[in-house]
Amino acid sequence: MGGLRICRYQTAERPFFLKRISVNIYTMEELCYYIYHNFALIDDTLMNEELFQWIETQIGQPRLAGVLRQNVAGGASYRKLASLLLDITDYCSKEQLHSLFTNMDVKNTKPGSQMLKSIGDRLLENHKYAKAIREYNSILHLRTRDPQTNEFLGSVYHNMGVAYARLFLYDQAVKCFAAAYEKNSDPRSREQYLAAVKMGGEPIDTLVGEDEADVGAKLDALVKEASEDETAKRLRKLQQLREEGNTEAYENELQAFLQEQKKICAKYISV
């Protein structure tokens, strides 16, 4: 399923929002890709009238939307609706569709915690840190009725620590990385723990940082690398204009910079 794919249908002017992973899509191919690779996440948050209207009005496929509505009225399952979309749009071959259904039976037996982690990881990848943390916490609440290995829990704690760190909540990040290291002894979790402590997080006595010097050196290297980032260069330019007393140029540059940052923030916090 890799490689380039030519879009056969029109591109939507208004995107459809995939609620489970907080991502906007604009094409039928993107929708089919999501369905093909994420069947375990398909539920009524996707297969509903809102999607059918989007297919009808934005993709220009009223006939396909009608077929989906008819199947819903007939009590079709999410699996049936997914197969219709993939089949009618010729997204995959009959052999691939058959293989998908075979794998679906396996996916449907996957523990709930595994599915929640898939959602959390995708949210983390898409910078939806608070939502990712909620999914990871849901996994931890399932521990009493959903068997989870230490390796799996270590991965959950580590990723949750990453989400907290990216929200600058270093105390919580420290606790997560420490818990991750306790579960799986992964040196990456220990390294991230030490980094979070260096950034101001409250250290945990049971996790001694004898290799703090190495982590400090890595952080220094990251700071140096960040100083060459385009954003850092823009900030230095703003500071220079202000120090020179060039008020008009400073105000223009500042407004342009702030508008760009607002667009970036809006992308990360959209719901």
* Domain residue limits, the chain: 16-107, 112-226, 230-263
On the question of pLDDT at 144 being above 70, the answer is no
pLDDT digits (tens, 9 = 90+) for 184-210: 899 899 888 988 888 888 887 666 555
Residue pair 107/1 in contact (Cβ under 8 Å)? The answer is no
Least confident of 15-19, 169-173, 188-192, 258-262: 258-262
pLDDT digits (tens, 9 = 90+) for 54-107: 999 999 999 999 999 999 898 888 878 888 888 888 888 888 877 777 765 544
pLDDT of residue 22: 78
Burial of 186 (0-12, 13-18, 19+ CB in 10 A): middle
pLDDT of residue 266: 62
Least confident of 120-124, 141-145, 175-179, 267-271: 267-271
Tokens 């991750």 correspond to what residue?
A: 180
Instruction: Provide the pLDDT confidence category of residue 221 given band limits of 50, 70 and 90.
Output: low
The rounded percent of the chain whose pLDDT value lies above 70 is: 79
Distance separating alpha carbons of residues 66 and 62, to the nearest angstrom: 6
Instruction: Provide the pLDDT confidence category of residue 23 given band limits of 50, 70 and 90.
Output: confident
Q: What is the pTM of this model?
A: 0.59
pLDDT of residue 189: 92
Q: Of 179 and 257, which is predicted with more confidence? A: 179
Q: What is the mean pLDDT of residues 213-222?
A: 58
Q: Which amino acid, residue 79? A: R
Among the residues of 61-111, which ranges form H helices?
Answer: 62-73, 78-88, 94-107
Residue pair 172/159 in contact (Cβ under 8 Å)? The answer is no
On the question of pLDDT at 172 being above 90, the answer is yes
Q: What is the mean pLDDT of residues 153-181?
A: 93
Most confident of 83-87, 212-216, 258-262: 83-87
- Sequence-ordered strand ranges (E) for the chain: 16-18, 23-25
Distance separating alpha carbons of residues 65 and 55, to the nearest angstrom: 6
Computed from CA positions of residues 157, 158, 161, 163, in that sequence, does the dihedral angle turn out positive or negative? negative
pLDDT of residue 270: 46
pLDDT of residue 136: 93
Q: Of 175 and 95, which is predicted with more confidence? A: 175
Q: Right CATH number for 112-226 from 1.25.40.10, 3.40.50.880, 3.30.200.20, 3.40.50.300? A: 1.25.40.10
pLDDT of residue 271: 43
Q: Of 25 and 216, which is predicted with more confidence? A: 25
